[in-house]
Amino acid sequence: MPLSLRCRSVPPCDHADPVSSLAVVTAVDIVFRRYGDDDKLAVETFRCTTPGERWTKPPQRVIRCAPQEIRDGADARLVVAEEQAGRIVGVVVFGPNEHRWYIHAIGVVRDRRRQGIGERLKITALAEIAAVAGGRQNVFSEVHKNNLAMLGLNDKLNVLRAPDPENRAHFISAIAVTPAGP
């Protein structure tokens, strides 16, 4: 059965460089910024799994492998959420794959969940895609059926979802993003 999703739109990104213009502070001590080479060790050892929830392991694996993928030439992009003390508490990995954009993984450390960090990471990735991709873009992601936090966030953002025809434990999610006008 083919997957069919009509993507909903999110409001246009209202600035040319969403990450560098983020004077975004979700909690008083969190700054969102692009991944840099100095973040390699922190990202490669990033922990966002939850004991007893095996479905949390694949996103952590994607996040941890992203620095090597970038070194190997992949067009992956990362945004990190960093505490003022320097600890990375959240990561989003996204990028184009063939002719589509994907959010590959979002992770937040357990002690900083339910503080809006994952939401800000996802919105930042969507805004970045809108700014760099040019024109309307459909952005896809895969969400495990037990990931209630992300399913709830996707509902809040009006992201469409359909069962993954190849993996019944997952949904394929889609949303359209549009860059801001001049």
Sheet with 88-97: strands ordered across: 30-34, 77-83, 88-97, 100-108, 137-144, 170-177, 160-163
Task: Name the CATH superfamily housing domain 30-177.
Answer: Gcn5-related N-acetyltransferase (GNAT) (3.40.630.30)
**Residue 17's pLDDT is what?**
46
**Residue 4's pLDDT is what?**
34
- What pTM, to 2 d.p., does this model score? 0.83
**Residue 136's pLDDT is what?**
81
- Domain residue extents for the chain: 30-177
Count, residues in the chain? 182
For 91, phi then psi, to 5°, come to -145, 140
For 105, phi then psi, to 5°, come to -165, 145
Residue 81 gets the label, from left (phi > 0), alpha (psi -120 to 50) or beta, of beta
| pLDDT tens over the chain, length 182 residues | 333 333 334 444 343 444 444 434 445 589 999 999 999 999 999 999 889 889 889 999 999 999 999 989 888 999 999 998 899 999 999 999 888 899 999 999 999 998 889 999 999 999 999 888 877 888 999 999 999 999 999 999 889 999 999 999 999 999 988 877 65
